[in-house]
Structures are given as C-alpha cells and as structure tokens.
C-alpha cells in the first residue's frame, strides 16, 4: 500500500489547500508537518474515576498512543463513557448500564468517523465497555485492536466485589455483625482493575481474545503490571501492521470466530452476559448468531476452569499459570476451536498458539478433559411456555439440574431483595422478578444484589430465581434470566401469580409454568404495560431496543 492508501480516511481531512483550517486546529493539539503524512490512529479510552475498573486506563491509552507515534503513525486519544455495574447495582442507576454499551459504541463511531481516523485502538475495563468497543470496531470496520484494561489484584483473604455483596446477605442472616461487614467492605477492592473472578469483564476479555480482536494474553494480565503496559506497546505496533496490510474486523470476524469465542466462554465458566453481548457483537458485524448456537456448541464443550463465582479461583491466579492461551491450545488440539481464523497479529489462531506451553503439571485451576468441572455447558438455553422466545440459565450443576417450586412474584428488583433479606423467601420458592427487561427496565438491570443475598442467606441450593432482567457475572445459584418475550411487552412472565408452580429442567432445557393455556386469555385482556419514561436516554432506548434473545441492540437492520 502507498502512503495515501494507508491514510485514505485521514487524507480527506488534512490534505490539500482547502484543509488548512483542519490542520490549524490539529497543530494546536500537537500535530507537526510530518504528522499530517502519517496514518492517524484513534485511541478510544474508557478512562474515568467513576470506577476502579477504569481509573488507570488513561495511562494505558497514553502508552498505546505513544507506541503508535513511535512506530510511524500518529496516535490520538479520545474518551468515551463508563457506568459502573458494581456501584449502580441494586439501584435505578443500574438501568443505564446496558444502555451505556450502545452509547459507547455510538460515541466511538461518531469520533472515528468525524475525525477520519485510519485505524482504531479501543481500551475497555468495566463490563459494558468491552462489547461496546467491539461493536464499534465491527461497525466502523477499519483496522482495529482491542486492549483489555486488566483484572484487579485480590483483596484481603482473596476477597473481591462479590464477597461484599454476599456479606450483605450474611449480615441479614446474622452470621456477621456491622464491624465484620465494614471490614469486608474496606478490604475487598485494593486498587485499579476489573472485578477479580470470571465475571462479565474477564469473560468478555477472554471472548474478545478468542475472537481474534486482541493480542494473545491481553485478557489475562493484571491492570497494574508490566505485562499490561507491554500489551499497549504491542497494540500500537499491531494496528499499524493491520493498516499496512488492510486487515479489518470484517476479515477477522466470522461465524467460526464467534464459535471460538462461545467455546472459550463455556470452557472458562463465563458469565451469562456473554450470550447477550456476543449476539450483539455479531449483529454489528453482520453475522447471524442465535441462542441455539450456544446450545449446539455447549453440548460438546465442557467447563474446565474452576473459577469464581461458582468455583474456587480468581483471574489473577489463572494469570499466574499462563492465562487462557494454554487453555485455548488444549481446545484447539481437541478439535474444539477453528484454528484457521485470522487475528489482529496478522496470523491465524493456530499460528498464534503453535508455541504456547501447557499449564504446570501441579495446577488444578484448569481441569483436564477427563475430569471437567462440568461435562457440558453451564450456560443453558431454556424454552417453554414461560419463555417461548428463550431464556438463559447459569447452572453449574452444584445446585442440581432440576428445580420445581412455588412462585413468589415481584415487579422490581428492590421488592424482591427486601423479601429475601427480611426472611420472606423460604426453601422451595421460585423468585420471579419481572418488568426488568430491556424495555421494561428500561435497561435490563443485573440481579447481583438478590442472587448474592440468596447465597449469603444460605439458600443457594434451596430457591431459584427467574427474571426478564439479567445477571452479573458474579451471580451464581439456580438462576434464569433473559426471559423472552419480556413481561413489559406482554410476555407470559407478566401473568405469573404468587403460588403458581414453575419447573426449571436444565437437562431437558425446559422452563415450564404449570398453568392451563386458557387461563391466560382473560388476564391478557385486562393487562396493561407499565409506564415507561417519556423522554431522555431511557425513553429512546426502550423505543428502539430489540429482544434480549436478539442481543438487546438498538441499531436493528431492516429485513
């Protein structure tokens, strides 16, 4: 490629006599005469001080931009937003979390297209940053590399944010007092980085690496580490190589690469949010991915990682034994990954993994295939008269594979949490939380507070929870989310009554509401949708968002 070919977007902005005003503006932010001749790379930073997940990303963004500029390009840092799930959890503010994924994607598109960048580096830390970044990369389709901000170091006694949520439940049960709760609260989060278990952030970082959009082991590095700084340095050089070779996300993303991502998510015991986000990311790339793809791949893919929330180990401990690269090599050698998929290294996945060394013989974080944590996927797609459009369950098997119980129905997360904490929930109950879907929330809040309270109260094996909302990657127990159609659009969940019997059967992949079909007809005629916001971001989101089974996207393409 010639110089102009490498700058086919930025040259429109800065070349020629008529672009003197643009160059004048850019000189003020540090451009020189030579810089106007170089490929421009936008570095989308999700830095902010609203969450420890992102508080260090300005340092990573500066390092990536420095690397671009030192390697023959011109790096330009710009910012987008972050909403902290861990802070907003259990409040009305959590309605903005999933919405922020769309805002992040749209804002990166706006700046990249508006400024005419030739390439793009995106850096994400908190949960929705990562899919939002990838959706933008796929939509814009310019040479791009994703950098994961990195995981947090463990707190005292291997604590993390979920330790605090579960301590609230233990406090309500009377197992710990105010002083002990304060001690957990004060020591769980020691500094920068994303939440420390295989929650949504670490899950999505691993999935993006499996997709081929980040450099090898970007997903398995601590936020504050030399390895993470090196990742940023390598990303700066890698994006210029992609520009040189004109390798774009559309050359990397394919149905096979998404199948690789699903396989890795299952093997690591990842978050249910991965289902929602991978479908949305595929949508942005123009690739059809459905709930049934998770079932198909899940039938042949075991859970191999014994990691939190349902397992034992933290991400930092997985990093110590080599991260996910040796796991991916295991999966590739077993024929469970497509090795011919292109990646941002300019090489295939198989080429990247060729020299990866196996895990140490004495480790037990990643199990062998003949002794898995679970023989098939923990992400179970359920259908039935309560979820004709599908639902997503996270069932590790530790809580059993089938649950039949009596519904206790709540129309908000807050009401359900109150009932759990005050002792109203008993063994055999199926907690139903409705009107928390993409439209009904609006925003599809995560139910970490209720699920953590259930675990803290010692009811993890004795109750189930069903919702048209979703779950944090830190949730575990017998939980079913993403119920579609959601209650706010007249889905069956809107008509469940306290006292009804509900069965969740992971083996048959069914969720059954024990009620005659005819019973629904009178109630449906009287039912009215709950009021939704009339203006602002949530109103726009509710008007445009698709079903959770379709990724809860807002840029639906015409048929």
| Cα 77 to Cα 48: distance, rounded to the nearest angstrom | 14
Position 110 scores a pLDDT of: 98
The answer to whether 310 is a known catalytic residue is no
pLDDT interval class at 525 (50, 70, 90): low
Q: What is the pLDDT of residues 156-175, one digit of tens each?
A: 999 988 889 888 888 988 99
List pLDDT tens digits, range 371-404: 999 999 999 999 999 999 999 998 887 778 899 9
Angstrom distance (rounded) from CA 246 to CA 233: 20
* Residue 521: predicted pLDDT: 60
pLDDT at position 519 over 80: no
Q: In what order do the strands lie in the sheet with 119-124?
A: 74-79, 40-45, 119-124, 144-148
Band (504; pLDDT cuts 50, 70, 90) = very high
Question: Is residue 351 over pLDDT 80?
Answer: yes
Mean pLDDT across 300-322? 95
**Least confidently predicted of 55-64, 504-513, 527-536:** 527-536
Residue 434: name the closest of 408, 460, 456, 458 by CA.
408
Pick from 50, 54, 49, 22: nearest CA to 36: 22
Which residue among the candidates 472, 475, 547, 549 is catalytic per the annotation? 472
**How large is the average pLDDT for residues 430-455?**
93
pLDDT tier for residue 287 given thresholds of 50, 70 and 90:
very high
- List for the chain the helix, strand, coil content (%; round to 5): 45, 15, 40
Instruction: List pLDDT tens digits, range 405-415.
Output: 999 999 999 99
Alpha helices per DSSP H over 176-324: 178-187, 200-211, 226-245, 249-252, 255-267, 273-284, 291-298, 315-320
Q: What is the mean pLDDT of residues 59-80?
A: 98
**Higher pLDDT among residues 448 and 114, named by residue:** 114
What is the per-residue pLDDT across 78-125, written as a single tens digit (0 to 9) for each? 999 999 988 998 899 999 999 999 999 999 999 999 999 999 999 999
| Whole-prediction pTM | 0.95
């Amino acid at each position: 490629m010639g110089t102009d070919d490498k700058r086919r977007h930025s040259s429109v902005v800065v070349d020629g006599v008529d672009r003197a005003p643009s160059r004048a503006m850019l000189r003020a932010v540090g451009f020189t005469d030579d810089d106007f001749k170089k490929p421009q790379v936008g570095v989308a930073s999700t830095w902010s001080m609203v969450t420890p997940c992102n508080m260090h990303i300005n340092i990573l963004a500066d390092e990536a931009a420095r690397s671009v500029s030192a390697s023959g390009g011109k790096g330009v840092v710009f910012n987008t937003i972050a909403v902290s799930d861990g802070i907003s959890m259990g409040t009305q503010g959590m309605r903005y979390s999933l919405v922020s994924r769309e805002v992040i994607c749209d804002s990166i598109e706006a700046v990249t297209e508006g400024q005419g960048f030739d390439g793009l580096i995106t850096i994400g830390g908190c949960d929705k940053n990562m899919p939002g970044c990838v959706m933008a990369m796929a939509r814009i389709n310019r040479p791009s590399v994703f950098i994961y901000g990195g995981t947090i170091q463990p707190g005292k006694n291997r604590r993390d944010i979920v330790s605090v949520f579960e301590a609230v439940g233990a406090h309500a049960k009377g197992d710990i007092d105010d002083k002990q709760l304060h001690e957990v609260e004060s020591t769980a989060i020691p500094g920068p980085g994303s939440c420390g278990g295989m929650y949504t952030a670490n899950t999505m970082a691993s999935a993006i690496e499996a997709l081929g959009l980040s450099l090898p082991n970007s997903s398995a590095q601590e936020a504050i580490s030399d390895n993470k700084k090196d990742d940023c340095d390598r990303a700066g050089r890698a994006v210029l190589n992609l520009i040189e070779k004109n390798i774009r996300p559309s050359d990397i993303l394919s149905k096979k690469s998404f199948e690789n991502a699903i396989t890795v998510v299952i093997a690591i015991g990842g978050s249910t949010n991965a289902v929602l986000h991978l479908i949305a990311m595929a949508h942005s790339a123009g690739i059809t991915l459905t709930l049934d793809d998770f079932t198909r791949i899940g039938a042949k893919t075991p859970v191999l990682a014994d990691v939190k929330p349902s397992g034992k180990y933290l991400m930092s401990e997985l990093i110590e034994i080599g991260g996910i690269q040796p796991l991916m090599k295991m999966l590739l050698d077993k024929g469970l990954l497509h090795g011919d998929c292109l990646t941002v290294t300019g090489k295939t996945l198989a080429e990247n993994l060729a020299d990866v060394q196996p895990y140490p013989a004495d480790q037990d974080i990643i199990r062998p295939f003949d002794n898995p944590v679970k023989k098939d996927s923990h992400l179970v797609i359920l259908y039935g008269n309560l979820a004709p459009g599908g639902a997503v369950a996270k069932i590790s098997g530790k809580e059993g594979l089938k649950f039949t119980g009596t519904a206790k129905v709540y129309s908000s997360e807050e009401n359900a949490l109150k009932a759990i904490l005050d002792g109203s929930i008993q063994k055999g109950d199926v907690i139903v939380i409705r009107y928390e879907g993409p439209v009904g929330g609006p925003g599809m809040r995560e139910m970490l507070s209720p699920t953590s309270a259930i675990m803290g109260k010692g009811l993890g094996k004795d109750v189930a929870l069903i919702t048209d909302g979703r779950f944090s990657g830190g949730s575990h127990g017998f939980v079913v989310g993403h119920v579609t159609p959601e209650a706010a659009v007249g889905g069956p969940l809107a008509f469940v009554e306290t006292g009804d019997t509900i069965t969740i059967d992971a083996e048959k992949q069914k969720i059954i509401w024990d009620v005659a079909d005819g019973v629904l007809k009178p109630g449906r005629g009287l039912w009215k949708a709950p009021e939704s916001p009339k203006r602002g971001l949530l109103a726009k989101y509710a008007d445009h968002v698709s079903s959770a089974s379709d990724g809860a996207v807002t840029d639906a393409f015409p048929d």
